[in-house]
Structure 1
């Protein structure tokens, strides 16, 4: 049984994300189908009904994602706090849901203290952060109205997601989608440097300077884009040291960036 008598055990964090799930969650006896519809909290449902009435639509939206809020703690206590079937969550829907979670955790009998809120870099999540400040302000914390000791709650971006975002930006510089051509001080910041390293010194070599680097790291399949360890291994010091040793000044800005 969990015991939070020690003060340090009461500090927790809220983590939330959208996880794609099958939408067929309710059985239709006429068609034999399982159909799931969006269902948020009371305020969220009222907002959806208002939005549908303005658009002149009556049919419920089919849920595509599950908004899962998970409570991470400073000790071993972890469990899902709530889940909401959603179609595409927005900051306006997130605001009442998240703050209701904070209120429940802070004011319930378990007496937990929320220190941070963590999520990935989705546009709705970034907008949710900005709702707590003035226009164009960088918001990284906000006063906690439910705390008894004047604490603030910090907004923290999910670190694994940031690592993947950095790798994805890097891989599209002079390669793959070729959506950017990054450079600094007249030198390219290019994924081609990594490609040359792999093909010339790793793929067919008996002794690879980067033993964990594989073709899956380089080709960037849809599955590979989602793996945090692939991104971390590409951006590792092992790869950086190999590039510096084998290519020297030609890859300086790729290494620094």
Structure 2
């Protein structure tokens, strides 16, 4: 990847962090002349036993915001947990190096695992039921800019789905309700369940992408992104509107759509 060959708009990027499971063991790497396999980050409690072996790889990768490109820029080997202070320093180091090359790093993207949430908190990122969410911090390379933090899209979809399938509702802001002239502020999964039920009675399916795993996922189904994606698909919204128009669903379902 040569930054000098990029157009100005192609230099805007996100820094993504992903942890993947690896096979534990020691391996000699001829390229660097070293034995790899031990954790390179301390555990969550700050310790790093001499006999410990890495079980995961923490990968740092850049991705374009206005164009499709990706580039792995670093990694660390970790055990089942890691101390958040070390990745924070690594994050700042990577962002600083990238900005010095002419890239603009605007956002950090990760899943919502415990280690990443601890890392977010080191940057002052938090959200609570009784407090105002904080989703950005002062950019380490420019005090006039903000560095944003966001979960990756699959985790956002699964979290929203889990919120609804646990029996809770989502309430839209008043300005959204008024702007789109919605009948209510409440988003309710019961309307989608009714859609699945009605579709099951018909040989001609209007919602073939939906099934019981989408509206009532079991343990392993909750881990699969495809069921959450199907639930929030544009076709689901169109199907709900069709049932409202045909009188099989009340108008309140339009908000869910």
TM-score, structure 1 normalization: 0.69
Structure 2 unaligned runs (5+)? 29-35, 172-185
1:51 alignment partner, SS class: coil
Say which of 61, 68, 77 aligns to 1:70.
Answer: 61
Backbone CA RMSD of aligned residues: 3.7
Determine if the alignment matches structure 1 residue 203 to structure 2 residue 200: yes
Determine if the alignment matches structure 1 residue 230 to structure 2 residue 227: yes
Q: How far does residue 239 in structure 1 lie from its aligned partner after superposition?
A: 2.9
Q: How far does residue 146 in structure 1 lie from its aligned partner after superposition?
A: 2.6
Counterpart residue number, 2:249: 247
| Residues 167, 27 of structure 1: alpha-carbon distance in 2 compared, 3 angstrom cutoff | same
Asked if structure 1 preserves the Cα contact closer than 8 Å seen for 2:157 and 2:228, the reply is: yes
Q: 1:49 and 1:234 mapped to 2: Cα distance?
A: 36
Q: Greater share of strand residues, 1 or 2? A: 2
Structure 1 unaligned runs (5+)? 29-34, 174-180
Q: 1:49 and 1:221 mapped to 2: Cα distance?
A: 31
Asked if structure 2 preserves the Cα contact closer than 8 Å seen for 1:141 and 1:152, the reply is: yes
Q: 2:250 and 2:238 mapped to 1: Cα distance?
A: 10
Asked if structure 2 preserves the Cα contact closer than 8 Å seen for 1:212 and 1:233, the reply is: yes
Q: How far does residue 189 in structure 1 lie from its aligned partner after superposition?
A: 7.0
Aligned length: 225
Q: How far does residue 228 in structure 1 lie from its aligned partner after superposition?
A: 2.7
Q: Greater share of helix residues, 1 or 2? A: 1
TM-score, structure 2 normalization: 0.69
Determine if the alignment matches structure 1 residue 151 to structure 2 residue 142: no
Q: 1:122 and 1:89 mapped to 2: Cα distance?
A: 11
